[in-house]
């Protein structure tokens, strides 16, 4: 693991790191904020998965999470959204597929299957590295994310309920198999056999019996992607049918940007803190 940068912030340390990933076969970059803490103390971890076109940097610069993480004593980890590098196949001029658009799945179709293995990376490899390298208590983890990363947080969280005490999301793609972004990505990463898609679809996972320990979603009503891509209502419906007591909040006048995310970030961190420390 190589240190790219380290800056003192809000009493803690905002670091950016890179390492050679086995899962993706590429150099991967991620950021970790470690709040002020006592020597020897281990802290709960909040994972943040980013959206289309993003790297670790967007939330690290614009997310406004450090004050809340410092207050509540939570380590904040932000991975990249796809493999990167000259060897990694990409889709030219497509912001919603290829680099920056890994969709937190393990691709099974060539040429994507060699490097596009963000599920294994975020579910297995990076947690092991974080556990080895930072003062964390991996028994206390929570996950959140934005848009495509909200989809990642929901699906990874729902598939691993023993690992995550709470799941939240900002404007998530709740049912990618019913959205143009998801249909496009899944058909190319996973192929046309849609039976392999459901494991990457939050609504399908809930319909199949998955249950989150705790679930909070914020969605702006002025989000241009709401009706075609995000479809928050499908998650609300699935939760209602499944008897899941989720907080799914429509936030009046907010859009899809970090101006929205940063508004509710402190609330999400505090909500996760209650579950992580309870």
223 included as an active-site residue: yes
Binding mask 66-85 for a copy of itself (x = CB under 8 A): xx------------------
Question: How far, in Å, are 28, 126, 130, 131, 234 from residue 170 at the CA level?
Answer: 24, 22, 24, 26, 15
256 included as an active-site residue: yes
Q: Is 69 exposed, middle or buried (0-12, 13-18, 19+ CB in 10 A)?
A: buried
The interface region with a copy of itself, picked from 85-93, 132-140, 193-201, 259-267 by CB under 8 A, is 259-267
> Which H or E run contains 148?
helix 148-159
- C-alpha closest to that of 48 among 40, 61, 179: 61
- C-alpha closest to that of 49 among 148, 197, 133: 148
Examine residue 57 and tell whether it contacts a copy of itself (CB under 8 A).
no
Examine residue 11 and tell whether it contacts a copy of itself (CB under 8 A).
yes
Question: Among 139, 247, 259, 277, which residue sits at the site for a copy of itself (rule: CB under 8 A)?
Answer: 259
The answer to whether the CB of 163 falls within 8 A of the CB of 142 is no
User: Which residues, listed in sequence order, are joined to residue 218 by a DSSP beta bridge?
Assistant: 170, 249
The interface region with a copy of itself, picked from 37-45, 59-67, 172-180, 206-214 by CB under 8 A, is 59-67
Q: What is the CA 135 to chain-centroid distance, rounded?
A: 21
Instruction: For residues 192 and 211, give the distance between their C-alpha atoms in angstroms, rounded to a whole number.
Output: 27
72 included as an active-site residue: no
The interface region with a copy of itself, picked from 61-69, 163-171, 204-212, 230-238 by CB under 8 A, is 61-69
Catalytic residue among 21, 147, 171, 179: 147
Percent helix, strand, coil in the chain (nearest 5)? 35, 25, 35
Catalytic residue among 21, 90, 223, 272: 223
Instruction: For residues 204 and 20, give the distance between their C-alpha atoms in angstroms, rounded to a whole number.
Output: 33
The interface region with a copy of itself, picked from 6-14, 23-31, 130-138, 234-242 by CB under 8 A, is 6-14
Examine residue 9 and tell whether it contacts a copy of itself (CB under 8 A).
yes
Question: Among 40, 209, 243, 253, which residue sits at the site for a copy of itself (rule: CB under 8 A)?
Answer: 253
Residue numbers 186-215 binding a copy of itself by CB under 8 A: none
Examine residue 164 and tell whether it contacts a copy of itself (CB under 8 A).
no
Question: Among 14, 31, 55, 147, which residue sits at the site for a copy of itself (rule: CB under 8 A)?
Answer: 14
Examine residue 249 and tell whether it contacts a copy of itself (CB under 8 A).
no
The answer to whether the CB of 142 falls within 8 A of the CB of 47 is yes
How many other β-carbons are positioned within 10 Å of the β-carbon of residue 13?
Answer: 15
Question: Among 18, 19, 37, 62, which residue sits at the site for a copy of itself (rule: CB under 8 A)?
Answer: 62
Q: Annotated catalytic sites, by residue?
A: 147, 223, 256
Residues interacting with a copy of itself, by CB under 8 A?
A: 7-11, 14, 61-62, 64, 66-67, 220, 222, 253-255, 257-260, 262-263, 266
């Amino acid at each position: 693991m190589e240190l790219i940068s380290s800056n003192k912030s809000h009493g803690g340390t905002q670091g950016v790191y890179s390492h050679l990933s086995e899962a993706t076969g590429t150099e991967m970059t991620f950021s970790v904020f470690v709040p002020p803490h006592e020597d020897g103390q281990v802290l709960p971890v909040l994972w943040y998965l980013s959206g289309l076109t993003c790297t670790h940097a967007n939330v690290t610069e614009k997310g406004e999470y450090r004050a809340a993480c410092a207050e509540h004593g939570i380590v904040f980890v932000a991975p990249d959204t796809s493999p990167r590098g000259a060897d990694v196949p990409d889709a030219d001029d497509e912001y919603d597929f290829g680099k920056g658009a890994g969709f937190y799945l393990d691709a099974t179709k060539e040429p994507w299957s060699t490097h596009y293995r963000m599920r294994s990376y975020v579910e297995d490899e990076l947690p092991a590295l974080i556990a080895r390298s930072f003062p964390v208590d991996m028994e206390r983890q929570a996950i959140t994310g934005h848009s495509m990363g909200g989809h990642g947080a929901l699906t990874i969280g729902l598939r691993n309920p023993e690992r995550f005490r709470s799941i939240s999301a900002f404007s998530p793609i709740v049912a990618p198999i019913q959205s143009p972004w998801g249909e496009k990505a899944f058909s190319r990463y996973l192929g046309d056999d849609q039976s392999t898609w459901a494991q990457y679809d939050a609504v399908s996972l809930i319909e199949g019996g998955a249950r989150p320990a705790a679930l909070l979603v914020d969605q702006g009503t002025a989000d241009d992607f709401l009706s075609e891509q995000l479809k928050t209502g499908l998650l609300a419906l699935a939760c209602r049918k499944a008897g899941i007591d989720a907080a799914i909040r429509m936030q009046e006048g907010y859009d899809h940007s970090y101006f929205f995310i940063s508004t509710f970030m402190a609330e999400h961190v505090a909500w996760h803190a209650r579950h992580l420390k309870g």
